[in-house]
Amino acid sequence: MDSVSDKHHAHELIERLPASQLDAAVRFLEFMLLDPVSRSIATAPVDDEPLTAEEEQALARADAWLNERGGRGIPHEEILAEFGLTMKDFPLNGNGA
């Protein structure tokens, strides 16, 4: 089959799907269109390793630091300035990422 025939066949198959399966079909097609990195992230296994006591303490310190500042972190611009950079040094690509 050529690509035009393949697309036509795909459209025919979608038209034959019951409404209850359309959402799954759309999600599958969206998944197929993801870039390889996004697809890898989407299919990566869940990190279910328990936290070590050291990691739990570090998270508690980070939470306390954030709470002391009213839930506000450090703006990106401030961190970049420490390295002599600005947001202009990181132009957005065509898809806004």
pLDDT at residue 39 in the model: 87
What span, in angstroms and rounded, lies between the C-alpha atoms of 44 and 65? 31
* pTM listed for this prediction: 0.43
Question: Read out DSSP for 6-63?
Answer: HHHHHHHHHHHS-HHHHHHHHHHHHHHTS-HHHHHHHHSPP--PPPPHHHHHHHHHHH
Tens digits of per-residue pLDDT, 36-78? 998 898 889 998 999 999 999 999 999 999 999 999 999 999 9
Locate 9 and state its tokens: 């066949």
Residue ranges of domains in the chain: 3-43, 53-89
pLDDT at residue 1 in the model: 61
**Cα angle 28-30-36, degrees, rounded to a multiple of 5:** 100
pLDDT at residue 72 in the model: 92
pLDDT at residue 31 in the model: 87
